[in-house]
Amino acid sequence: MHEQIITTLERCRYSVLSRDDDLDQIFRLRYGCYIAEDSIASNERGIMSDPFDESPNCIHVAVSMDESIVAAVRLHLISPDSCVSPTVEVFPEIVDKEYRGKTLLDPTRFVVRPDARKSRLPLHFLALRIPFLATMFYDVDIALAAVRSEHFAFYVRHLGYQVFSGPRQYPKLNKPVGLLTADVKANQAAILKRYPFFGPLESIPESRREFPSLDRTDVASGRSNFNAA
């Protein structure tokens, strides 16, 4: 499995998206993926987006192969200065009580293009690299995973997550999701030892990903510095 992931990673590029035309591609990709799983209601525009896509602590990252976007994920950096995120809306106790004062990462809207998924390339692992790299870049304390219950075992087994809450209704989704959490600093070394491809690889310069600088003042005041990417 590792060799196949490395080979696929060599063909891929990561990019942080902020332009409207790029984001439109992501929103259409999301729509196609979620409709295919009957996870959302259909709409005439053929896009899937919400107000969280425009929050100042939000980052959209795409995975491209052969100059075409094949996967994407949305990230929200949660801190004492900005607690805006879709998962916090559904599980508010995560910041109200459990992890008050901590820096958390909320990855949502994981999507892999259906035809690319059928190719049996391990693109889901390449998408999962994005939040892992982001936790390193932003010095995150806790990583969140709001996923359907059938995906719990994967996150627990491979990424060291623990179940925080059972399924609840999630904004605009037909299927409920539960919440898992991971202590980033406690698990990071073990995960990199087991799955070195989750981190930056010297042999693949493109495996490194610089993220936008989300200055605490910018986040709190509603400004984002995407020019820092």
Following DSSP, what letter does each residue of 75-88 receive, concatenated? EEEEBTTB---HHH
State how far the Cα of 28 lies from the Cα of 169, in Å rounded to an integer: 23
Which residues make beta-bridge pairs with 108? 74
Sign of the Cα pseudo-torsion (122, 150, 85, 186, in order):
negative
Helices 123-137 & 184-194, crossing angle to 10 degrees? Answer: 140
Q: Which helix (H) or strand (E) holds 163?
A: strand 162-168
140 Cβ contact partners less than 8 Å away, ≥ 6 residues apart: 77, 103, 104, 105, 134, 184
Q: Tens digits of per-residue pLDDT, 27-47?
A: 999 999 999 999 999 999 999
Sign of the Cα pseudo-torsion (194, 199, 201, 207, in order):
positive
Q: Answer yes or no: are the C-beta atoms of 214 and 222 closer than 8 Å.
A: no
Q: Tens digits of per-residue pLDDT, 62-89?
A: 999 988 999 999 999 999 888 899 999 9
Share of the chain above pLDDT 90, in %: 63
**pLDDT of 157 over the 70 cut:** yes
228's tokens: 């820092």
Q: How far is CA 155 from CA 64, 150, 227, in A?
A: 24, 10, 33
For 197, counting Cβ atoms within 10 Å of its Cβ (0-12 exposed, 13-18 middle, 19+ buried), the class is buried
Phi and psi at residue 31, in whole multiples of 5°? -55, -50
Q: Tens digits of per-residue pLDDT, 176-215?
A: 999 999 999 999 999 999 999 888 777 776 666 678 877 5
**7-21, 71-85, 90-104, 141-155: which range is least confident on average?**
7-21
Average pLDDT over residues 1-20: 84
**Domains, the chain, with CATH or none:** 2-203 (3.40.630.30)
Residue with tokens 């591609």: 25
Average pLDDT over residues 147-166: 95
Question: Residue 205: what pLDDT?
Answer: 61
Average pLDDT over residues 39-56: 93
- Amino acid identity of 132? F
The band of 167, judged by pLDDT with boundaries at 50, 70 and 90, is very high
Phi and psi at residue 180, in whole multiples of 5°? -115, 155
Question: Residue 219: what pLDDT?
Answer: 37
Question: Residue 218: what pLDDT?
Answer: 41
Q: Answer yes or no: are the C-beta atoms of 105 and 78 closer than 8 Å.
A: yes
- Nearest residue to 15 via CA among 78, 49, 59: 59
DSSP helix/strand/coil, 107 = strand
Enter the DSSP assignment of 42: -
Question: Residue 128: what pLDDT?
Answer: 92
Question: Residue 221: what pLDDT?
Answer: 32
**57-66, 68-77, 93-102, 149-158: which range is least confident on average?**
93-102
